[in-house]
């Protein structure tokens, strides 16, 4: 029954409340790039994914790190996590979802919360040279990670950690419509609009501008763009089929979900306590503090609590080779 009743995380006194704990790391955290070796791979459907590596001779363990909505492999949370694993003797691979590396992807299809096939392609490409592979995902990338595990994972995947995951996409989308979350919604939609305008120029006649500039919710955006561009019938169909919560029971490798109780993006449906109680592999940790992809800590190593928590959890299931 891996429902963890205690969490060691405590937010710094200077960062009270979920909103400040969310905004401060996103705006002010700086991490020098750790994954500097670039590689582009071709997906089975003829598109591409951009990978960034940190590889050392002799490493037998790899961590693959997935970013969140409108992020990329160079985000501070991604590079901070990579640095923590490299310090612990792992190789690290950070990847950008389709269209997130600074260049539009080739196909009409976009990245989305249920794109487990792309994570599977990255794992299949990277895994052969390693004894074990572990996964870390943030927010949307965490949903992809958990959904991938629930659908069945590569035999080399030893474990995973996911932070701040909207595992029930419908309820999270509704939560983000609230007045208190308007600043986040506007931020996400501004980036997504740019990507849709790029698609319009690449695929004339296949993507319509419609009410793009006036959209203010994910229901509007996902219904008009995410769903039809990626084979879903509607926003509701997308949210249902792309959410990781329905497949958590299928996870068979050790996996930890860390969702802060004060995360402004996550309603009660995104805290899957019953699924954790019923599982031998899926762990749920719910710190009181942390915000959304926050978990800040002030120390000389520049390491956030989420970094050290992921390393400590995954090291249990992927020990250093002799």
- Residue boundaries of the structural domains of the chain: 3-168+244-315, 179-242
Residue at token pair 């997935």: 66
The residue to which tokens 């506007």 are assigned: 186
Give the DSSP letter string of 172-228: HHHHTTSGGGHHHHHHHHHHHHHHHHHHHHHSTTTS--TTGGG--SHHHHIIIIIHH
pLDDT of residue 320: 79
Given this model, what pLDDT does residue 321 score? 67
Three-state SS string over 64-89 comes to: EEECCCCCCCCCHHHHHHHHHHHHCC
Instruction: Give the separation between CA 299 and CA 303, rounded to whole angstroms.
Output: 7
Give the pLDDT of residue 46. 98
Closest CA to 275 of 113, 146, 155: 146
pTM of the model: 0.97
Distance of CA 152 to the CA centre of its chain: 18
Nearest 5°: the CA angle 215, 95, 61 is 145
Q: State residue 322's pLDDT score.
A: 56
Q: CATH number of the domain at 3-168+244-315, please?
A: 3.40.50.1820
pLDDT score at 2: 75
* 3-class SS of residue 136: strand
Extract the residue ranges of the chain whose pLDDT is less than 50: none
pLDDT of residue 319: 82
């Amino acid at each position: 029954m891996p429902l963890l009743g205690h969490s060691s995380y405590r937010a710094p006194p200077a960062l009270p409340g979920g909103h400040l704990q969310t905004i401060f790391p996103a705006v002010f955290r700086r991490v020098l790039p750790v994954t500097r070796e670039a590689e582009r791979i071709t997906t089975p459907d003829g598109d591409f994914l951009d990978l960034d590596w940190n590889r050392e001779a002799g490493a037998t363990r790899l961590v693959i790190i997935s970013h969140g909505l409108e992020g990329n492999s160079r985000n501070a949370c991604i590079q901070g996590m990579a640095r923590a694993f490299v310090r612990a003797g792992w190789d690290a691979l950070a990847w950008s979802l389709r269209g997130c590396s600074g260049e539009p992807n080739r196909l009409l299809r976009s990245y989305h919360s249920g794109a487990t096939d792309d994570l599977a392609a990255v794992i299949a490409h990277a895994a052969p040279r390693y004894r074990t592979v572990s996964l870390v995902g943030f927010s949307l990338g965490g949903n992809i990670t958990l959904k991938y595990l629930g659908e069945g994972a590569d035999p080399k995947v030893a474990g995973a950690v996911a932070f701040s995951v909207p595992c029930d996409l419908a309820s999270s989308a509704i939560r983000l419509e609230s007045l208190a979350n308007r600043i986040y919604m506007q931020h996400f939609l501004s980036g997504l609009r740019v990507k849709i305008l790029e698609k319009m120029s690449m695929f004339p006649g296949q993507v319509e501008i419609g009410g793009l500039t006036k959209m203010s919710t994910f229901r509007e955006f996902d219904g008009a763009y995410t769903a039809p561009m990626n084979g879903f019938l509607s926003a509701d169909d997308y949210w249902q089929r792309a959410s990781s919560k329905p497949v958590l029971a299928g996870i068979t490798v050790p996996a930890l979900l860390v969702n802060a109780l004060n995360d402004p993006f996550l309603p009660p449906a995104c805290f899957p306590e019953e699924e954790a109680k019923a599982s031998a592999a899926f762990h749920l940790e719910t710190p009181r503090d942390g915000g959304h992809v926050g978990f800040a800590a002030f120390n000389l190593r520049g390491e956030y609590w989420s970094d050290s928590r992921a390393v400590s959890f995954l090291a249990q299931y992927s020990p250093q080779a002799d």
